[in-house]
């Protein structure tokens, strides 16, 4: 007997596809992204979480200077540098509620690197490093 995991759905032809979840990425100043996704990866104070359809409800605190990755149902990956806030997982979806956040495609890499070098304290450095990591580069 084959066991089917609850995050895999099958269409009428029996083809498998990963179940979708509703996701919102919101910062205090604006909504950065919302839509459906197959997976969300976020860094919390308890560690990195991978979230798919059927995940247990959870409220987690986001790390300062973390990176969130959203794998959309269109096959795209939305990446954002996130600075504090919370992650809420419910039966209806995932909400990422950040104090502030910046999408990777909005980040000026050279400015982010300069901000790392000029950082005056640990918080400034963490924010600048997250912006560098969000664009796929190492610090």
The pLDDT of residue 85 is above 70: yes
What does the pLDDT read at residue 13?
60
pLDDT of residue 112: 94
Residue-by-residue DSSP string for 54-86: TPPPEEEEBPTTEEEEEEETTS-EEEEEEEEEE
Chosen CATH of 20-134 out of 3.20.20.70, 1.10.730.10, 2.60.15.10, 3.40.50.720? 2.60.15.10
| pTM for the model | 0.85
Q: What is the mean pLDDT of the chain?
A: 89
- Angle, nearest 10°, between helix axes 109-118 and 122-134? 160
Distance between CA atoms of 14 and 80, rounded to whole angstroms? 35
Average pLDDT over residues 128-133: 95
Task: Please state the rounded mean pLDDT for residues 48-53.
Answer: 94
pLDDT at 48: 95
| Residue 9's pLDDT band (cuts 50, 70, 90) | low
CA atoms within 13 A on the CB side of 16: 7
Tokens, residue 69: 């990755």
pLDDT of residue 108: 95
pLDDT number for residue 19: 86
Give residue 6's pLDDT.
47
What per-residue confidence (pLDDT) applies to 139?
83
Per-residue model confidence (pLDDT) at position 7: 45
pLDDT for 4 equals: 40
| In the chain, domain spans | 20-134
């Amino acid at each position: 007997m084959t066991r089917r995991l609850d995050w895999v759905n099958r269409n009428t032809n029996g083809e498998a596809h990963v179940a979708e979840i509703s996701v919102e990425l919101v910062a205090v100043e604006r909504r950065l992204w919302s839509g459906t996704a197959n997976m969300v990866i976020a860094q919390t104070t308890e560690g990195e979480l991978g979230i798919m359809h059927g995940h247990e409800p959870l409220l987690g605190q986001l790390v300062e200077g973390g990176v969130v990755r959203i794998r959309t149902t269109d096959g795209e990956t939305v990446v954002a540098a996130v600075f504090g806030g919370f992650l809420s997982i419910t039966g209806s979806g995932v909400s990422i509620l950040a104090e502030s956040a910046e999408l990777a495609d909005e980040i000026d890499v050279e400015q982010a690197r300069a901000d790392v070098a000029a950082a005056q304290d640990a918080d400034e450095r963490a924010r600048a490093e997250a912006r560098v990591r969000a664009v796929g580069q190492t610090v």
